[in-house]
Amino acid sequence: MELRDLPSVDELAGDGRLAHAASRPLLVSAARSALARAREEIKAGADPGDLVGRVELELAATREARLRRTINATGVIIHTNLGRAPLAQEALERVRAVAAGYSNLEYDLGEGGRGSRQDHVAPILRRLTGAEAALVVNNNAAAVLLALAALAEGREVLVSRGELIEIGDGFRIPDVLARSGARLREVGTTNRTRAADYERAIGPETALLLRVHQSNFRVVGFTEQPRLAELVRVGRAHGLPVVDDLGSGVLVELEDEPSARDALAAGADLVCFSGDKLLGGPQAGIIVGRGELVERLRRHPLQRALRADKLTLAALEATLALYLEPESAARRIPVLRMLVEPVEAVEARAERLSAIVGGEVEQTVGRVGGGALPLAELPSFACAVEEELAEPLRRGEPPVVALVRDGRCLLDCRTIADSEVDEVASAVTAARE
């Protein structure tokens, strides 16, 4: 075939075989793309083949979902690139119920008038953390931004040099601080900061003391950070609030990961944490603490721009409800379930998968991820298959994201659910074809 043999866009889109394939505008754009590719191939000396078939492929690609369910075979439980926390069944059901119809999102059913979207989740957050008041926004970055804007705009915020962190995707504490309109005043040094360093830095311009959980790294060796209670003592002595950004935040006892309840009990005035890290819910930023401060955040104009939507609030309320019975939380919330699953069960899954696909069972180390417990090593097991399968597995349906190490592709079974084993096995078979 030569360039001049190609039909026009209109001719191709008008081909009878495509008559019911799509609307006219979609057909025209698919025909245009198919012809552009065909032209490239002819110039490269190749035969473009059946053009109608090419248009059908273009149409299929246009209709295919881009944001897709993906199987996490990396062993990293809270994987930010893979959407962080999978939701509990109860949360999914609540989202479906609330989203499929109307809801009382901002309607007070008792009074028959306007209500607040913040009123649904606040009571259970207060109960679970012991806080006076609670507020939910779009994510934890927004929570920190709102707290600083509402409490420290135009004034100074004291932060330890050891806590000026960057978490994934360029979220840097100093940048958020600048955007809030507050001014950063660094205290202490990278490895050592004492309560006295805050004390010395306090002046007429100081608005609050900010503590940031170090999240994704640890400074080891000759280090010192004041305990929260010491910071609170300094804040109280000068009438300044202490805001604690916990990052992940947990609602159950988990190694040395700080919980909102502990932070409030130590005297923090406001505590911020994420909804989709260790909590295991939807993306959200949760702020709990003193009623009068939370109220200032709620009234700030940015709150309207940063608020959470009804799907988030529905999923969050249902997830939080599971924490009312701590044993049900560990069973029902996927993040917690993966975290506490006995290694023998993970090994059994790796054996089952390996038996189907002819792989080898290999001991691995899983991670919590999401900036929580960065040094924690979760004993795990993987099914090891050929390295070349990593790419076709990613491109398959459903996509499977695995780790490549030492010339092999590792399917880590800590983050693969029991119900996904057969699917992963089929994906491996398909990837070998």
Ligand X SMILES: *Cc1c(COP(=O)(O)O)cnc(C)c1O
Q: What's the rounded Cα separation, in Å, for the pair 431 and 419?
A: 20
CA pair distance 184, 225, nearest whole angstrom: 18
The nearer residue to ligand X, 176 or 329, going by C-beta atoms, is: 176
Is 258 an interacting residue with respect to ligand X (CB under 6 A)? no
The size of the interface with ligand X (CB under 6 A), counted in residues, is: 15
CA distance 259 to 243: 14
List C-alpha distances in Å: 308 to 124, 270, 285, 316: 16, 19, 8, 10
* 212 contributes a contact to ligand X by CB under 6 A: yes
Contacting ligand X (CB under 6 A), which of 241, 247, 289, 369? 247
Instruction: Pick the stretch among 30-38, 113-121, 211-219, 416-424 that binds ligand X (CB under 6 A).
Output: 211-219
Asked if residue 297 lies in contact with residue 288, where contact means CB atoms within 8 angstroms, the answer is no
Q: Which of residues 159-178 bind ligand X (CB under 6 A)?
A: 167, 171
End-to-end CA distance of the chain: 31
Q: Is 141 in the site for ligand X (CB under 6 A)?
A: yes
Q: Per the structure block, which two tokens stand in for 384?
A: 């090891």
d(CA 379, CA 414) in angstroms, rounded, equals: 9
Compare residues 74 and 139 and give the one whose CB is closer to ligand X: 139
319: contact with ligand X by CB under 6 A: no
Residue 427 CB-half CA count within 13 A:
26
For residue 197, state whether it binds ligand X (rule: CB under 6 A). no
Q: Token pair for residue 197? A: 């360093």
For position 259 contacting ligand X by CB under 6 A, the verdict is no
Least separation in angstroms between CB 284 and ligand X: 7
Least Å from the CB of residue 113 to ligand X: 33
In angstroms, give the least distance from the CB of 243 to ligand X. Answer: 11
Per the CB < 8 A criterion, the answer to whether 399 and 393 are in contact is: yes
DSSP 385-401: EEGGGHHHHHHSSS-EE
Nearer Cβ to ligand X, position 54 or 213? 213
Please identify, using beta-carbon distances, which residue of 140 and 303 lies nearer to ligand X: 140
Name which of residues 215 to 234 contact ligand X (CB under 6 A): 215
Kindly state the smallest distance separating residue 170's Cβ from ligand X, in Å: 11
Q: Rule CB under 6 A: is residue 139 a binding residue for ligand X? A: yes
Q: Residue from 33, 118, 140, 180 that binds ligand X (CB under 6 A)?
A: 140
Query: Do residues 114 and 106 make contact, with C-beta atoms less than 8 angstroms apart?
Result: yes
- What separation in angstroms does the CA of 219 have from each of 207, 252, 374, 390, 423? 28, 25, 11, 34, 41
> Binders of ligand X among 364-403, rule CB under 6 A?
371
Q: Which two tokens stand for residue 96?
A: 């479906």
Q: Are 155 and 210 in contact (CB under 8 A)?
A: no
Candidates 71-79, 245-253, 344-352, 415-423; binding stretch for ligand X (CB under 6 A): 245-253
User: How many Å apart are CA 225 and CA 191, to the nearest integer?
Assistant: 8
Instruction: Figure out which of the listed residues 33, 206, 274, 415 binds ligand X, where binding follows CB under 6 A.
Output: 274
Choice between 30 and 146, CB closer to ligand X: 146
Binding residues (CB under 6 A) for ligand X: these are 139-141, 144, 167, 171, 212-213, 215, 245, 247-248, 274, 285, 371
